[in-house]
Amino acid sequence: MSLGGFAAGLAGAFQKAEDRYQERKLREQASAEAKLRQAAGFAFREKMYTRQMRDAYNDELTKTRNYLSTVFGDTAEGRQYVSALLPFGEAAIDIVKDHKQQAQDSGVDFKSFMNIAHPNGINKDTYKAPDLDNVLSFLSKKKFGEDVSGFDFKLPTVTFKDIPQATDYTSKFAAGTAEGTLQLVNNGILDAQRNIERGVEVPKYKEQLEDLNKLKVMAVAQLEEEAKGTTSGVGSPEIKGLVTQVNKDIVQSIKTNIQGEVVQFSGEEGFEIDYEGNSRLAVDGTLQILSTLPSDFSIWNPQKGTYGAIQTMGPKNLWASNYYQKLILPSNRAIVKAKREAMENDEVIDLTQFGDLYANKLSPDVKAQIIEAIGYTTEDTKLKVAKYMKNGKVVTNPVGEFTRNPTDKNQNGFFVYKPLSLEDYQKFVGVSYQ
């Protein structure tokens, strides 16, 4: 090989080596750029993921804050509860809901069983919960490892006390016998009614009254079952015991509904209504008691059986019979007597001048004139008898001015005392006597 040929071959070899070097350099450069692009992509995705996580956490905190603020309010105390519970995140919602339910079931204020602990060195009386927006920002930064040194507050902490189990207060009204239970229940009903009338813990005693009425039903039903099981006839101790309880119920109703010195009581089972000088109050009270009977009677259905047998003596019939004999019949006699004496003594008040009291709606002025004509006063409790127009006819009856609930048939609410027949009474209370 000549020297020229060798040099040319050597130059070619160098050129190939250079080409390979440049190719490798380009490949390495391209690889580095690819790795940079990949790293940048990873960093971006990580950044977006962190942002999504932060946004989701912030949404969780906001949802929790809104719920807690609704429960505890936006007062200084309320913000303390919210600040203490926010670190739990969305779990705080379930915690509070569960605690509220337990407290409700036990009949207690659920906040009373949550203990707020304030940071050491801070007086609870001067401690003010930080702005809740700052709390949200603080929790978010702390969650994702950011600097929180700029926040100059400390959050209170919360602990939950054990909620006492609900107590069955109705157990104290249960006695060894049905008669004993009825006695306790009747006393409890009377006490609850008095507290409701006085405005003392009205929701509590309304709920208690409902429970006690249910207990009363159960006790009476037990008495009835005991009466059915006997074979000694209607004069048996079981039946007599049921009658006794009915009488007690009537006496209790009278004490509740008839005020003043209208009733003279002789023990817890006997009474006498003074219809002589207190006729109006007595009759009003009697009718008020009567108006409450249908709801009571709907509970006890009469038992059908052989005539004269115990099965015919169901509590519904028993209650209805005793109310009629002890209240309605004396009331009827008072009404009839008042009407007779007024007509004999020419003391009937003429209201016919005001037109038909049932056909035409009266103005307030005319109503006032009618009331003045009847002339009831606080001291005058005697039933007043009047003649008036009803559907074009003159009618005479003891009257009671106006009721509070006018109807289509009695649009003026004109109130009249009329004797109640046994047949009408039976229809009213829904029983059929044997």
- Token pair of 164 as six digits: 């006492």
Q: What is the pTM of this model?
A: 0.53
Highest mean pLDDT pick, 138-147, 165-174, 242-251, 400-409: 400-409
Whether 350 and 433 have beta carbons less than 8 Å apart is answered as no
Angle, in degrees to the nearest 10, between helices 315-323 and 237-257: 50
Tell me, what's the pLDDT at 370?
A: 93
Task: Tell me the pLDDT band of 308, cut-offs 50, 70 and 90.
Answer: very low
Among 324, 311, 306, smallest CA distance to 224 is for 311
Tell me, what's the pLDDT at 115?
A: 75
Give me the residue spans of the domains in the chain: 33-160, 172-340, 344-416
pLDDT at 12 over 80: no
pLDDT at 425 over 90: no
Whether 286 and 309 have beta carbons less than 8 Å apart is answered as no
User: Rounded to 5 degrees, what are φ and ψ at 350?
Assistant: -90, 110
Distance CA 429, CA 298 (A): 8
Tell me, what's the pLDDT at 34?
A: 64
Range of weakest confidence among 52-56, 131-135, 224-228, 283-287: 224-228
